[in-house]
């Protein structure tokens, strides 16, 4: 469904997804080994790499590089014990982290990690994991065949039986990535409206959580025309804005009455719908509201606590490490995580903190956002940043063929 505004949205989303890494390069807040061509050691720093779904060929090449250059991996407890000074580490020690719990962790990453004798940590979204059957999404119109071939099982979650097998092997250490992994609306400013293929990401992660008839819709399966407000992570500093459900229904009905899916073929559909929304609010008022400070604290607490309890019960282990969805946390979230009983918090980039070393704050563990930067670790056949960017571009083209 060609529409120039939809293309602009994709560009904006691409920037939103990558701006943190762009900023990390610009502000030089990544570890020194990323920038220094002549560096031959990472000393006592422990780089923590972020992965989600993996391509088997690409991931095996990364593991080969780590293996050939003598790198070791550790789990969450070992990292914590090192940071607080209880255990030493060997010089070339890194951490591999997987977010969410996609099925190709089991079908692709797990066998390769075993083959090369590496460990990893996976942060689970507890409420999206089922006991025997895999939760999947059927409506990924933007996902083409080449992506399915390159990233098999990347739209399906592992089930608890598979997770138990990986946990018991000692290869993958499972910790918490929250109960539901959701965005919240943070203001009354409308950024967009839900249009066909708005979110091609599995489990509708990029669609904010909405309340319907007094209950949160954690599936985030919304109707076309739903206003998308300015949003951020549940664990950010912002209070949640609850929209006026009547104005939401008005927009949905307007789309249905004006062609449904065909409405979005109009060149200026967004301008038309925004004008309708603004006129409705002007006439009827905006009766949206913000959550209270107590409600904000309770919501964050429940996301952290419930996920911890579920994973502990399912895997019969202690869960003491928490990773922020979208790499976004806050002082409030850190405070609550301590109340819940976590020993560490994993972020993305934190200003003025480049890496993780002995004595650094375990509640501010920084992560490298791109697994491509594994090849910047000192070693034989180390790649330049230019080479890494070229390889990334060529790989992304392959996924779109």
Per-residue pLDDT tens over the stretch 171-225: 999 999 999 999 999 999 999 999 998 877 778 899 999 999 889 999 999 999 9
DSSP 158: P
CB 130 within 8 A of CB 190: no
CA distance 62 to 336: 36
Q: Residue 294 has what pLDDT?
A: 98
CB 346 within 8 A of CB 123: yes
pLDDT band at 147 (very low <50, low <70, confident <90, very high): low
β-strand pairing of 227-233 with 183-193: antiparallel
CB 347 within 8 A of CB 327: yes
CA-based nearest residue to 77, from 91, 67, 87, 69: 87
Q: Could you give the 3-state DSSP secondary structure of residue 135? A: coil
- Average pLDDT in the 55-82 region? 97
Q: Residue 8 has what pLDDT?
A: 57
Core vs surface per residue 214-227: b (16+ CB within 10 A) or e:
eeeebebebebbbb
pLDDT at 334 over 90: yes
- Average pLDDT in the 260-288 region? 93
CA distance 206 to 219: 11
Q: Could you give the 3-state DSSP secondary structure of residue 336? A: helix
pLDDT at 140 over 50: no
Four-residue CA torsion sign, 227, 238, 345, 368? positive
Q: Residue 12 has what pLDDT?
A: 59
Extract the tokens encoding 281.
């609010």
Extract the tokens encoding 104.
């190709």
pLDDT band at 280 (very low <50, low <70, confident <90, very high): very high
Q: Highest mean pLDDT: which of 35-39, 222-226, 349-353? A: 222-226
pLDDT at 143 over 80: no
CA-based nearest residue to 317, from 308, 329, 305: 308
Q: Residue 285 has what pLDDT?
A: 81
β-strand pairing of 183-193 with 172-176: unpaired
pLDDT band at 14 (very low <50, low <70, confident <90, very high): low
Q: Residue 10 has what pLDDT?
A: 57
Each residue of 17-35: pLDDT tens digit?
Answer: 677 788 888 888 899 999 9
């Amino acid at each position: 469904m060609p529409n120039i505004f939809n293309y602009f949205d994709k560009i904006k989303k691409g920037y939103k997804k990558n701006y943190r890494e762009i900023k990390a390069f610009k502000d030089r807040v990544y570890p020194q080994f990323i920038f220094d061509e002549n560096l031959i050691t990472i000393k006592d720093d422990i780089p923590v790499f972020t992965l989600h779904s993996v391509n088997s060929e690409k991931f095996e090449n990364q593991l080969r590089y780590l293996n050939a250059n003598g790198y070791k991996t550790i789990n969450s407890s070992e990292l914590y014990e090192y940071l607080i000074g209880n255990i030493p580490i060997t010089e070339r020690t890194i951490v591999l982290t997987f977010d969410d719990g996609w099925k190709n962790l089991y079908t692709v990453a797990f066998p390769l990690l075993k083959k090369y004798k590496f460990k990893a940590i996976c942060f689970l979204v507890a409420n999206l994991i089922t006991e025997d059957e895999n939760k999947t999404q059927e409506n990924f119109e933007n996902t083409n065949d080449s992506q399915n071939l390159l990233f098999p099982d990347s739209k399906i979650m592992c089930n608890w039986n598979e997770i138990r097998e990986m946990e018991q092997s000692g290869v993958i250490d499972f910790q918490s990535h929250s109960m539901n992994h959701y965005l919240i609306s943070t203001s009354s400013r409308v950024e967009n409206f839900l249009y066909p293929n708005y979110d091609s990401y599995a489990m509708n992660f990029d669609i904010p959580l909405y309340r319907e008839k007094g209950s949160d819709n954690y599936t985030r399966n919304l109707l076309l025309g739903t206003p998308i407000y300015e949003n951020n992570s549940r664990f950010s500093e912002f209070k949640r804005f609850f929209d006026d459900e009547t104005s939401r229904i008005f927009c949905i009905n307007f789309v249905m009455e004006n062609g449904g899916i065909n409405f979005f073929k109009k060149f200026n559909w967004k301008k038309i719908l925004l004008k309708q929304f603004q006129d409705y609010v002007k006439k009827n008022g905006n009766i949206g509201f913000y959550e209270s400070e107590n409600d904000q604290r309770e919501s964050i607490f429940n996301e952290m606590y419930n996920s911890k309890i579920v994973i502990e019960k399912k895997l019969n282990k202690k869960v003491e490490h928490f990773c922020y969805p979208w790499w976004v946390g806050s002082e409030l979230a850190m405070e609550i995580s301590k109340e819940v009983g976590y020993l560490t918090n994993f972020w993305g980039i934190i200003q003025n903190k480049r890496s993780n070393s002995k004595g650094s704050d375990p509640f501010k563990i920084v992560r490298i956002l791109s697994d491509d930067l594994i090849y910047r670790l000192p070693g034989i056949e180390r790649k330049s940043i230019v080479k890494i960017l070229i390889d990334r571009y060529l790989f992304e083209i392959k996924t779109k063929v």
